[in-house]
Amino acid sequence: MAADEDSQRIGDPAFLAALLDGQRRAIESVSVSLDSIERAAIAISERLEAGGRLVYLGAGSSGLIAIQDGAELPGTFGVDPARIVFLIAGGAERAHRIDGAAEDDRDAARGAIDGLGAMEGDVVVAVSASGSTPYTLSGAEAARAKGASLVALANRAGSPLLALADYPILLDTGREALQGSTRLGAGTAQKCALGLLSTLANARLGHVYRGLMVNVRPDNEKLRRRALDIISSIAGVDESAARRSLASAADDVKCAVLIASGAGPREKAQALLAQSRGDIGAALSRLNESAPCGA
């Protein structure tokens, strides 16, 4: 074994410890930005509730992390996929093959924003570790010029992307153990912050109740099992009743909860939800208030 090879092997535990320490610092960087994340989540929920689109904008590793967050929203929270847009350097469909040159393509970013038409009711979530990636920064500038609200996540204080944003979120992860990499501490902080951001926004939209995913779309066996557990837990019914309610509700979990709780047919459950703006807690309160005394 060569001497330098042996030295590297001996240093592996220390290098791993340094990498892990970077991950810990990444989470700590998110914890000090919770106020900023909350403000941004409120803005996202308001735009979505008003019918706007949620646009994820990024490049490289940051773009991949943005896609991961947004791609899970339809299944987890029932968000209409047509209202989630991914603008990723080199194209979202090829994001798994990171195109370094595309990260510098300002014209492509501006063209992608132009292709979205009017954006006054939309919210853009731009993600860039440096806060100065040309594609991301140019796209953010173009979106703001068209009236979109801008949420920005960056890992460098004083970066132009944060200065541009309506809702800046600084994730100060510091120096990486592997210098120049943005897929380690910076990526962990971005993943964590985006998860908090989108989950809180959807909770404010009524898609979370008592810590449960009440707007989940049960399109596979795992999610169907989860949906039945949610219905049983909230309505206090057994699995058989939960299954019947879910079938009556055409797989709409919120409707199924109301049906299992005594709302009657699907149309009545849908009306209760409409009156409550999709908030299952408020709909259940209305149902209980309308129940005959002693029922």
Nearby residues of 204 by Cβ (< 8 Å), 6 or more positions away:
41, 42, 45
Distance CA 83, CA 76 (A): 15
Distance CA 264, CA 193 (A): 40
Helix (H) or strand (E) segment spanning residue 58 = strand 54-58
103 is catalytic: yes
Tell me which of 5, 49, 103, 120 is the catalytic residue: 103
72 is catalytic: yes
H runs (alpha helix) in 79-184:
106-114, 134-145, 160-164
Tell me which of 72, 120, 239, 267 is the catalytic residue: 72
Q: What is the DSSP letter of 120?
A: T
Block residue for tokens 């992307």: 161
Distance CA 62, CA 136 (A): 10
> Quick one: which of 153, 126, 146 has its CA closest to 137?
126
Q: What are phi and psi of 279, to 5 degrees?
A: -85, 110
H runs (alpha helix) in the chain:
3-31, 34-49, 60-71, 73-77, 106-114, 134-145, 160-164, 185-204, 221-235, 239-248, 253-260, 266-275, 280-290
Catalytic residues: 72, 103
